[in-house]
Structure 1
Amino acid sequence: MTSHGSLATLMEFQRTTEALAAVAQRLDWDRETMMPRGAAEQRSEEIAAMEEMLHARRTDPRVGEWLDAARPETEAELRMVELIDRDFRRKSAVPARLATELARLTSLSQGIWAEARAADAPEDFLPTLDEVLSLKREEADAYVSAGFGRGDRYDALLDDYEPDTSAAAIGRLFDSMRPRLVALRDAVMGADRQPQKLDGLFPQETQLRLSRACATAFGYDWNFGRLDIAVHPFSSGSWQDSRITTRVVEADPFNCIYSTIHEVGHSSYELGIDPDYAFTPLGRGVSMGVHESQSRIYENQLGRGRAFAGWLHGRMDDMFGGLSARDADAFYGAVNRVAPGYIRTESDEVQYNLHVMLRFELERELVSGKLAVGDLVEAWNSRFLRDFGFAVDRPANGVLQDVHWSVGLFGYFPTYALGNVYAGCLNAALRDAVPDVDPALAQGDATPAVEWLRENLQRHGSLHRPVDLIERASGAPVSVEPLLDYLDAKFGEIYAL
């Protein structure tokens, strides 16, 4: 077979693998949104069977032979071969038995976590988490043995979500952010001007109608997506099928609205990728940090900005028949109000990254074995008190609040804060390049911002490495300064600092 024939054969094989992976992802989506509660055991077997088949394809010895014989010529071909080779080496390092067992256990574990969270009963979940963690350590050791992670278990897992970085590098980044974030939080909490929260009860169906209107304002194409309710909001899918979820708290409509806008950011990235990359390794987001840059800039710099908040105030006032925030300024303050809180996904922009840093510390210790699962609740509670100055009131507001560890996503959490840093860089470039962003947002139209992001970042999919993609889009080296400067300016104005 010629080198050109080997590449064509490899890509045709990969196309089927990508399609099957999309089917497996749809099983996960259904489990979180529509699956009958009693079907958890059956679904775990279905997901395990899909993972067994996918693992066999991804580690098929012929893939290695085709890679050796392929001679890519274009930039896209070179990158596709690089990504397939990386995935082949990583998946080949993990025994099929381990991959299948992880898929089965994490499918069951998610349901166990949800039940324990609803019951405020960590003791019902921690034994299962211990099993998940044991398998994840085994997986990490397999990666390390194959040369991934620079000899470090956590780095080997992190590589699945944010390639080309390390826990040490992220730790240095967080250390550089923490002093200014803590100083801003303390200044805001002590300010004389304190915005009031939005009071009242907001019916679920009206919240969902408004959330759909916000998704439309941010360019979400309903021909290729849908909105459902989930315990923990997420997006799922790519190319022509990318679905979003949200959650509803009747006393807190911002939870539903901004969860929706956040997930639209994720979904827009997937839907905005060049369709020529569909069913190839380029046809998905390049890293979770870059993915989070899209969800966070949609939610925060655009969605929580003064311009869009002014439009949202008018819509909410009409739909809910009057608000406690009677004018746009009071509403803007309520949208961006900084207050003590337990929940990461409900946190304000000032404190959000501090929530991420806590989880980053804990999961590094869990993976290394320094922290035992049996000591996790106490460790969480003591570090939360240290970082936020008040005690966790119940497990659902503490160690049980996030789904990630139940499904084995160790290494995922730091990408949220990294995404905020990337979003800060992109926002600075966007504002320089597109002067009519805010006038359009004030009319409930995010089109100018969305088109700039699609052209400069989203359409490229995984063509470029994460940091390279951000630097190409923003025209400057990645730095924490744009994010921190933005936060200081925004909250300095709101709180009259």
Structure 2
Amino acid sequence: MPDAAMEQNSAYKRLEARFRQIALYGEVASVLHWDAATMMPTEGASPRGEQLSELRVLGHRALTDPVMEDLFSAAEQEDLESWQRANLREMRRDHRFATALPDDLVAAISNATSTCEHVWRDARAKSDFAVVSDKLSIVIDLTQESAQAYGQALDLDPYDALLESYAPGVRAADIDPVFNDYAAFLPDFLEAVTARQAQKGLPVLPKPVPVAQQQKLVERLAGATGFRFEAGRIDVSAHPFSTGYRGDQRITVSYRENDPMASVMAVLHECGHAAYEAGLPAAWTRQPVGQALGMVVHESQSLSVEMQASRSSEFLGWLAVQASDVLGPDPAYAPENFRRLQQWVQPDFIRVEADEVTYPAHVILRTRLERPLLSGDLPLADLPGAWNQGMKELLGVDVPDDRRGCLQDIHWYDGAFGYFPTYTLGAMLAAQLAEAAHKANSEIPQALARGDFSPLMQWLGDAIHTKGSYLEADGLITQATGRTLDATAFKRHLHRRYLEG
């Protein structure tokens, strides 16, 4: 047999073909999820749930086919180059997760989360947790079952197994001391920041702006980050998100006339996610090694754009001019007032609108609640009260209703338990990456002052995006920054921006 034909028929190449098929199922599912969030009619929820469930089962069956073990064993003996070896490692990781769950549980989870997510939208609109609690109970039961199965397959604690699916290598024992330290750090730091703010009084708030004008500014800002509209689009949904695949990036934002900058910061955040996906190694498209390296790294990319770059004093000076140009003259867009507005720190109810000082408290609360929810130590009926009590203890705010309390996030209703910690770990990594990027290229701040993201995005592309999942997380972070992830850069960043700037 000719060498080329033998290579194409090798166990490794057969695995590549199988994982390409699985990736295609995922791409189709991503578009169906996007459609459900943006334009699907209400009565489409049930058939859409069936469609997504079928796709998920097809992908699961392809990944758990009994022939896979033989292919893995044979591929291990083949002469593979380093990226292929890394791809095989990631294939095995995906396979271990998939084989932990039977097809019927995969289908049940998909159906339950699709139904629960749809009902959550109604419960959120009505601000009534009771509307969705029965559906969430089913999701929690199934998540408990899957966590146990994952834990047994991976030899991990059930919650650690859920973390592993979003943040490879991260364990609850790693998170707890970091989060407890931040919860202890926050009160005094927050008091110092708010006292400093008070010396200058409240900034002027912007006037309401029609959504059509906001959309023009959103598109301008997305373009500034390098988002390519010929390979993506921006739509409206209740909860901003980014999805899609190479050549078809889908971003959604939500708009409020009385808060025109909320949509701007949301699109900058999602453009960070989209840039990561667009910058993944093209040669490894639809292969595990060509995918993003977990949600901690993914969140670091969105927060590198939104928080580290777009809320910097340099960039805000340029953004104030753009806001005035597109949205119309407004005293709120005077440069110093605008900077203070975008760097304003104030405890509030809503995670996605929180400043970067108080945001970790929102994540700490959710992390502290989801573990007893899954273990059964926190009865579901007690969730709203526990949530409200936690917000009072961490941020001193009184939650007025369920919509601004335990109904504000989609994650649990969509089955994403173990996801929330990645947000704050991602913020810490973004600060660590920013220090390394600025050290490597001192022109980044001056470029941002011109609205030019390209030096920053070039560095992130080289250091993070093009690496895909070739390295494991600690290796990638160490290569990019010179050390493993810790909170010191994040705390330095907060001190510089809010107490020294």
Q: Same fold, TM exceeding 0.5?
A: yes
CA distance change for structure 1 residues 46 and 197 in 2, over 3 Å: closer, same or farther? Answer: farther
Post-superposition CA distance 1:72-95 (Å, at most 9, x none): 522211111111111112111101
Distance in 1 between residues matched to 2:328 and 2:182, nearest whole Å: 41
Aligned residue number for residue 65 of structure 1: 70
Quote the offset at 1:173 in angstroms: 1.5
Report the CA distance between 1:194 and its aligned residue. 4.0
Q: Which amino acid aligns with 1:259?
A: A
Work out whether 1:168 is the aligned partner of 2:168.
no
- What letter is aligned with 2:191? D
Secondary structure of the structure 2 residue equivalent to 1:159: helix
- After TM superposition, give the deviation of residue 24 of structure 1 in Å: 1.3
**Aligned partners of 2:296 and 2:423 also within 8 Å:** yes
Question: For residues 473-493 of structure 1, what are the alpha-carbon distances to aligned partners after superposition, in whole Å with 9 as ceiling and x for unaligned?
Answer: 112332211111011110113
Q: Which moved more, 1:351-360 or 1:80-89?
A: 80-89
CA distance in 1, matches of 2:437, 2:364: 27
Equivalenced residue count is: 492
Counterpart Cα distance in 1 of 2:419 and 2:350:
17
Partner Cα separation in structure 2 for residue 405 and residue 129 of structure 1: 8
Residue 232 of structure 1 is aligned with which of 226, 239, 251?
Answer: 239
1:261 counterpart residue number:
268
The yes-or-no answer on 1:290 pairing with 2:288 is: no
Is the Cα contact below 8 Å between 1:64 and 1:88 reproduced in 2? Answer: no
CA distance in 2, matches of 1:413, 1:106: 17
Conservation of the 8 A alpha-carbon contact between 1:11 and 1:280: yes
Residue pair 1:224, 1:242 contacting (<8 A) in 2 also: yes
Question: Aligned to 1:422, which of 421, 429, 432?
Answer: 429
The AA in structure 1 aligned to 2:169 is D
The answer (yes or no) to whether the contact 2:211–2:257 under 8 Å persists in 1 is yes
Given residue 492 of structure 1, which amino acid in structure 2 is its aligned partner? L
The alpha-carbon deviation at position 425 of structure 1 amounts to 0.7
AA paired with 2:494?
A: L
Partner of 2:96: 89
Give the residue type in structure 2 aligned to 1:32. Answer: A
User: Per-residue displacement from partner, 1:313-333 (whole Å, max 9, x unpaired)?
Assistant: 011112222123252111100
TM-score (norm 1): 0.96
Cα distance in 2 for partners of 1:353, 1:267 equals 23
* Structure 1 Cα separation of the partners of residues 317 and 79 of structure 2: 51
Looking at structure 1, the residues matched to 209 and 421 of structure 2 have their Cα atoms a distance apart, in angstroms, of 33
Alpha carbons 2:273, 2:299 under 8 Å: kept: yes
CA contact (8 A) 2:242 2:273 kept: yes
Kindly provide the amino acid, as one letter, of the partner of residue 77 in structure 1.
Q
Q: What is the aligned partner in structure 1 of residue 494 from structure 2? A: 487
Number of the residue aligned with 2:31: 26
> In the TM superposition, what is the alpha-carbon distance from 1:238 to its structure 2 partner?
2.2
- Whether contact under 8 Å (1:269, 1:291) holds in the other structure is yes
Bigger drift between 458-467 and 257-266 goes to 458-467
Matches of 1:415 and 1:182, distance apart in 2: 22
Residues 63/490 of structure 1: CA separation in 2 closer, same or farther (3 Å cut): same
1:400 counterpart = 2:413: no
Question: Alpha-carbon deviations, 1:283-317, whole Å to 9, x = none?
Answer: 22111000000001100110111111111101111
The amino acid across from 1:6 in the alignment is A
Structure 1 position 51 matched with structure 2 position 56: yes
| Aligned-residue RMSD, C-alpha | 1.5
SS in structure 2 of the partner of residue 226 of structure 1: strand
The corresponding residue for 2:18 is: 13
Q: What pairs with 1:26-425 in structure 2 (closer than 5 Å)? A: 26-70=31-75, 71=78, 73-149=80-156, 152-191=157-196, 192-325=199-332, 327-425=334-432
Q: Which 10-residue stretch deviates more, 237-246 or 383-392?
A: 237-246
Amino acid at match of 1:393: P
SS at match of 1:282: helix
Question: Structure 1, residues 250-290: CA drift from partner, whole Å, max 9, x if none?
Answer: 11112100110000000100000110010100222111000
Contact residue 360 and residue 424 of structure 2 kept, 8 A: yes
TM-score of the two chains, using structure 2 as the length reference: 0.96
Structure 2 CA distance for aligned equivalents of residues 33 and 491 of structure 1: 37
CA offset at residue 195 of structure 1?
4.4
- Please tell me whether the aligned partners of residues 96 and 154 of structure 2 are also in contact (alpha carbons under 8 angstroms): no
Answer yes or no: is the 8 Å Cα contact 2:320–2:338 preserved in 1: yes
1:198 and 1:323 in contact (8 A); partners too:
no
Q: How many Å separate the matches in 1 of 2:33 and 2:63?
A: 20
User: 1:111-135 deviations in whole A, cap 9, x for unaligned?
Assistant: 1001100111110011111110000
Q: Which amino acid aligns with 1:8?
A: K
Partner secondary structure for residue 451 of structure 2: coil
Counterparts of 1:75 and 1:43, CA distance in 2: 40
Instruction: Extract structure 1 runs of 4+ deviating beyond 4 A.
Output: 1-4
Counterpart residue type for residue 81 of structure 2: T
Distance, in Å, in 2 between the alignment partners of 1:268 and 1:451 is 11
Equivalent in the alignment of 2:484: 477
Shift of 1:364: 1.1
Question: Structure 2: how far apart are the matches of 1:138 and 1:476?
Answer: 37
Gaps of 5+ in 1: none
Equivalent-residue separation in structure 1 for 2:451 and 2:296 (angstroms): 27
Deviations 1:18-53 (A, max 9, x none): 112111121111111121122101101111111111
1:72/1:78 contact within 8 Å kept: no
Contact 1:51–1:99, Cα closer than 8 Å, also in 2: yes
Q: Secondary structure at the match of 1:236?
A: strand
CA distance in 1, matches of 2:202, 2:93: 50
CA contact (8 A) 1:274 1:283 kept: yes
Q: How big is the shift at 1:206?
A: 0.9
One-letter code aligned to 2:166? Y
Moved more, 51-60 or 182-191: 182-191
SS of alignment partner, residue 299 of structure 1 = helix
